[in-house]
Amino acid sequence: MTRFFNITHKLFSGLDLLFPPNCAGCKNPGHRWCPDCEENTPKITENICLHCGLPHTNSGQCMSCRNNPPSYTAARAWGFHTGPLRKAVHQLKYQRDIALGEKLAEYLEKLLSNQNWKIDLILPIPLAKRRMKKRGYNQAVLLAYPLAHYLDLEYSSKALIRNRETRTQIGLNRYERRENVKNAFAPNSNMVKEKNILLVDDVITTGATLDSASKSLLAAGANSVYAATLARAASLLQK
């Protein structure tokens, strides 16, 4: 994995010198993701639930986690899904910008450096087969693969699959999201058994997808499951 990553990194660096990219957040030339867009992204750094990472005013767990704790041990997101970060996620999701994923994974690395998590294996949240065939790639892979390289950890895109088609989560309420992804994931127990796993995705909204995937991994013998996403739904910005 390291050798392939180094080759692609050098390739993208060379192409950027020949054909300077436009920033995914502001479209100004010279960066795939510029320092101004990084600075202008609202970060999630404090006053969060220790379990789900949801911003709230009290210390410890939020009310939702106290009443109905998710299956994952903890989840964290780097910034809010608004402004330049929202534009960058859209480009990552719909334009297969591999080099942008490599750049944005650096922020996930910084995010995880502040957590005392023991991790053995990094997994991207998988797409359903129909959506994967239509899009041709999984945007979570574009973040999880370089992140595994930065952290020097094992990576797999085959240890967890979606075992049925699901609707898009867009427009669904919390209950509908949970039902939509219920029992939607199937792990390879030989690959996840007794492992401490990090799930990676682009955006977390209610956490239903990460919860369902975590539940399946724990049932297959994983020791623990953590989750990291680049962004969290902007609707939570003022809460």
- In this prediction, residue 12 carries a pLDDT of 54
Is the pLDDT at 226 greater than 60? The verdict is yes
What's the chain look like in SS3? CHHHHHHHHHHHHHHHHHCCCECCCCCCECCCCCHHHHHHCCECCCCECCCCCCECCCCCCCHHHHHCCCCCCEEEEEEEECHHHHHHHHHHHHHCCHHHHHHHHHHHHHHHHCCCCCCCEEEECCCCHHHHHHHCCCHHHHHHHHHHHHHCCEECCCCEEECCCCCCCCCCCHHHHHHHCCCCEEECHHHHCCCEEEEEEEEECCCHHHHHHHHHHHHCCCCEEEEEEEEEEHHHCCC
Taken in order of first residue, the domains within the chain and their CATH numbers are: 2-236 (3.40.50.2020)
pLDDT digits (tens, 9 = 90+) for 84-103: 999 999 999 999 999 999 99
pLDDT digits (tens, 9 = 90+) for 156-192: 999 999 998 887 777 778 788 888 889 999 999 999 9
- In this prediction, residue 179 carries a pLDDT of 86
Query: Whole-number mean pLDDT of the chain?
Result: 89
- In this prediction, residue 162 carries a pLDDT of 93
Is the pLDDT at 206 greater than 60? The verdict is yes
pLDDT digits (tens, 9 = 90+) for 104-123: 999 999 999 999 999 999 99
Is the pLDDT at 50 greater than 70? The verdict is yes
Please give the Cα distance from 9 to 224 (Å, whole number): 31
- In this prediction, residue 124 carries a pLDDT of 98
- In this prediction, residue 18 carries a pLDDT of 60
Q: What is the mean pLDDT of residues 48-71?
A: 88
Is the pLDDT at 33 greater than 90? The verdict is yes
- In this prediction, residue 128 carries a pLDDT of 85
pLDDT digits (tens, 9 = 90+) for 184-193: 999 999 999 9
More reliable by pLDDT, 198 or 5 = 198
Please give the Cα distance from 239 to 123 (Å, whole number): 30
- In this prediction, residue 9 carries a pLDDT of 54
Q: What is the mean pLDDT of residues 13-21?
A: 63
Is the pLDDT at 17 greater than 80? The verdict is no
- In this prediction, residue 19 carries a pLDDT of 60
- In this prediction, residue 238 carries a pLDDT of 41
State what percent of residues in the chain have pLDDT above 90. 70
